[in-house]
Structure 1
Amino acid sequence: MTSVFSFFLLAGCAQQHSLQEIENSSSSFYGAINDRGELFSQQSVPGKVFAAQLNCDDRADFAAPLNYRVDKPILSSAPSQAPLPSRMNPTRNTLPLSPGDMIEIMMEYGEGFNGSYVLDNLGLLTLPILEPIHASGMSPRELSQRVEIALIKANIFRPVTASVYVKVLHLAAIEVPVTGAVFQPGRILINNKRANNEMDQRVVAAGDYTHRRLLSEAIRGAHGARPDAKLDQVILIRQGWQIEVDLTGILSGLPVKDYPLIDGDQVIVPSTGCFQPHLVRPSQITPKGFRVFMSNLIDSAQNNSSAAVGPYATNLPYGTKLLQAAVSANCVGGKEWTNASRKVMLASINPITNQTQVVERSVEQLMRQANRDDINPYVMPNDAIACYDSNITNIRDVARTIVDVLSPFLLF
């Protein structure tokens, strides 16, 4: 009688909702290949950032990630969308100057002007006696001509003697806003080089080269392009003008024009709205690896430490699927008769719809149907993976609980 009473008591206190199937409000899981994609509207940057009243309802979309559709025009803040003019064309060989760049001015009979200069935050070049000269966005040759004109207008040099040479010593770090189909949109700092002996030698040499002030580096600084990115139409906006850049050659091995960036540039990676599996691989513009959250609180491993779920297990290479992540979390293996019916839960946030999606798969199903993408989806950065015990383990724990409850009564 006591056993029956204890059984119904445990059954009434058990959380029955844990036995129900997980339902998702989204149409499809982010990672499904054979779907038609997500339909989303063109979003705009929120007009209000700070509100005077203590009401945050009108700022619900503040800092929301922007998903730019490629079937609609992408407009910048400039009134014109004509191609880049020759003076701003990034295809020219000389990289325009940016605030923070270090240059050297050299001229004959110019002892009071020769020396090294750094462009200030506004991109101005400050020379003795002269008014500040706007140098940002100019090539060294264009800046030298502007300095010559300024010296002639100030009656310091004659036209025949005003010959100025501008030498680039060091390209500074710049901040570039990157938005669209990237994992972490925002302002990205690129070309942040530390001082060393090689840099001292470069300052002495004429010119400077950096591989960290390129378009691909800005996308990688935003944690890489997402699988729904349209890489053949990446938008580069400079001083109100925009061009489309094809970066698909980075993944296919074909030649790519990787444009150098200057301060004030803006990068937009449009979205196709569809998951593209060929983009889920490490590359120069996609993540090499990422962090996931794992929990392996199963009977054979009472905690993550004893289950060897450490930092190396939770850092996975880009392109990892759910079965591989389950093996990394030690959810696969063990006693076949008692542990074969384990389950794995995957929680992920769809970056397009911004909805949290949860799927549950059987370990046996993952192993036998690993080739099906709907059963074995890709794991994305910051996903959560948890392991659940098998049915036999659950029944055994229920029996142990009943014994623990009845033990005090059996002593009388």
Structure 2
Amino acid sequence: MSILKFWIAGLITTVAAIGVSVPSWALPLSPGDRLRLFVAGEEEIPEAERFSATYEVNLDGYIKFPYLDPIAAAGREVSEIEQDLVKALLEGGFFQPDFLKVSIQLFEWAPIQVTVGGAVFEPGRVLINDTDSKGRDLPASIATVSGDYPPERYLTFAILTAGGIKPNANIEQVRLVRGEQEQVIDLSGVFSGSPVEDIPLIAGDQIIVPTRELPQYYLARPSQLTPSTIPVFLSNLTNPNNGRELRIQEVEYGSRLSQAVIAASCVGGTETTNADRRALLLQTDRTTGETLAIERSVEDLVKKPNDEQVNPVLMPRDSVACYDSTVTNVKSIFDFIGDIFNPIRIIKDIFIP
């Protein structure tokens, strides 16, 4: 008997858990979305008097059909609009119930603006699904294509558009706020390979990526939530007045300081002159404006490539500069003295490439 009670209690708990699960949103409409309405039997009616046409959700979130009151569309699904339209047409006496056949199909998804905050590289308002219109300038009689898949109107793409997540992002507790509703989404499957519920967005949605106290560097790799490559400023100057060695390099996201040092040609060469070279990493938080300077021995970077304290992960728009060794600096001093006593060499350097 006790076993039966335990089983029933467990069943009730399971049902209750299912009943209070957070609802998932389908792909709802936003201002600017375009729908194609087909009403059967209108072929013999003059085109100017037909209900069949292409309609667009207005800025106020409503669709205006001829002779009818506006129908709310923003935040709702196409099937709901179709039901409201059928009801309005019947109540208005435009069609008999037995002869009314209506079909509303999605023709084109519009670009929308959402806000992204928290542990992302470029927080703020972003425009997503900013694609060229496939039929906005076509007459209604021609623009009959229906159906559209907007991969850029989903949660993961909005986060990526905001620069992607930082290594200290809590991707298991991403918050999506829509009006008075809020949903918490676990996006860890983007990195683990487990299923991910990628939520479709509407205009005005707010996304908040919580911040962890400590960074998780396994997040620093190309993914749906992070950039494939990042720009890094590299400088390797023996003579600081020569700007030819300053450049912007695109590196794979997740690369470390040692890889930038190699890309800047700071590693290798004669051991006597180059073994004591040093590298300087400048990281600026674009949100706070705070700049962090990290100096490392090139030799340490080569010997301890897996030490995160010695060899940190590069972030977007980091700056890496290489300093010459003591031997090279002494050589530069003697070269400078030689230039003073031999000005002809300076003239050659200026006029002879």
**TM-score range for the pair, normalised by the shorter chain length:** 0.7 to 0.9
Q: What amino acid sits opposite 1:272 in the alignment?
A: R
Matched, 1:141 2:79: yes
Return the alpha-carbon distance in structure 2 between the equivalents of residues 407 and 177 of structure 1. Answer: 63
Map residues 12-411 of structure 1 onto 2, 5 A cutoff.
Answer: 89-92=23-26, 95-109=27-41, 111=45, 112-157=50-95, 163-195=101-133, 204-298=144-238, 303=242, 305=244, 307=245, 310-311=247-248, 314-350=249-285, 354-402=289-337
Counterpart of 1:316, as a letter, is: V
Tell me the alpha carbon deviations over residues 65-109 of structure 1, each in whole angstroms, 9 at most, x when there is no partner: xxxxxxxxxxxxxxxxxx899xxx5444xx211111111122245
Report the alpha carbon displacement of residue 230 of structure 1 after superposing the two structures with TM: 0.5
Q: Which amino acid aligns with 1:114?
A: S
How far has the Cα of 1:216 moved from its partner?
Answer: 0.6
Structure 1 Cα separation of the partners of residues 191 and 169 of structure 2: 13
Q: Check whether the contact 1:214–1:260 (CA below 8 A) recurs between aligned residues.
A: yes
Q: Normalized against structure 2, the TM-score is what?
A: 0.80
Deviation at 1:150, TM superposition (A): 2.8
2:172 partner SS:
helix
Which residue of structure 2 lines up, in the alignment, with residue 26 of structure 1?
none
Amino acid at match of 1:374: Q
SS in 2 for 1:209: coil
Asked if structure 1 preserves the Cα contact closer than 8 Å seen for 2:234 and 2:247, the reply is no
In terms of mean alpha carbon deviation, does 256-265 or 279-288 score higher?
A: 256-265
Which structure 1 segments of 5+ residues have no match?
Answer: 1-82
* Equivalent in the alignment of 1:52: none
Change beyond 3 A, Cα 1:407–1:217: closer
In the TM superposition, residue 174 of structure 1 has moved relative to its aligned partner by: 1.3
Per mean C-alpha deviation after superposition, the further-off stretch among 137-146 and 379-388 is: 137-146
State the 1:407 CA deviation: 8.1
TM-score (norm 1): 0.69
SS at match of 1:231: coil
Output the CA distance in 2 between the equivalents of 1:107 and 1:372.
67
Q: Shift in Å at residue 154 of structure 1?
A: 3.7
Query: In 2 relative to 1, CA 149–407 (structure 1 residues): closer, same or farther, beyond 3 Å?
Result: closer
Percent identical: 39
Please tell me whether the aligned partners of residues 64 and 71 of structure 2 are also in contact (alpha carbons under 8 angstroms): yes
**1:402 Cα deviation from its structure 2 partner:** 4.6
- 2:8 is matched with none
Secondary structure of 2:151 counterpart: coil
- Change in Cα spacing, 1:179 to 1:165, as seen in structure 2 (3 Å) is same
Q: Is the CA contact 1:102–1:118 (under 8 Å) kept in the aligned structure 2?
A: yes
Letter in 2 for 1:251: F
Cα deviation for residue 355 of structure 1 reads 2.3
Once residues 375 and 335 of structure 1 are traced to their aligned partners in structure 2, the CA distance between those partners, rounded to angstroms, is: 23
**Residue deviations 1:166-219 (CA, integer Å, cap 9, x gap):** 11112222111111111111222222223569xx9xx74543222111111111
Letter in 1 for 2:327: I
Distance, in Å, in 2 between the alignment partners of 1:196 and 1:116 is: 13
SS at match of 1:284: coil
Q: Measure, in 2, the Cα distance between the counterparts of 1:114 and 1:407.
A: 87
Q: 1:338 to 1:161 in 2, by over 3 A?
A: same
Deviations 1:267-313 (A, max 9, x none): 111111211111011111111111111211126x97453x5x655xx
Contact kept, 8 Å, 1:100 with 1:118, in 2: the verdict is yes
Contact 1:188/1:221 (8 A) holds in 2: yes
Higher-strand-fraction structure: 2
Q: CA deviation at 1:143?
A: 0.7
Residue segments in structure 2 that go unaligned for 5+ positions in a row: 1-19, 344-353
Give the alignment's Cα RMSD to 1 decimal: 2.8
Q: Distance in 1 between matches of 2:144 and 2:74?
A: 22
| Equivalent position amino acid for 1:390 in 2 | S
Q: How many residues align?
A: 312
| CA distance in structure 2 between the aligned counterparts of 1:400 and 1:106, rounded to whole angstroms | 83
1:343-372, Cα deviation, whole Å (9 max, x unpaired): 110010246865211011111121122221
Aligned with 1:292: secondary structure? strand
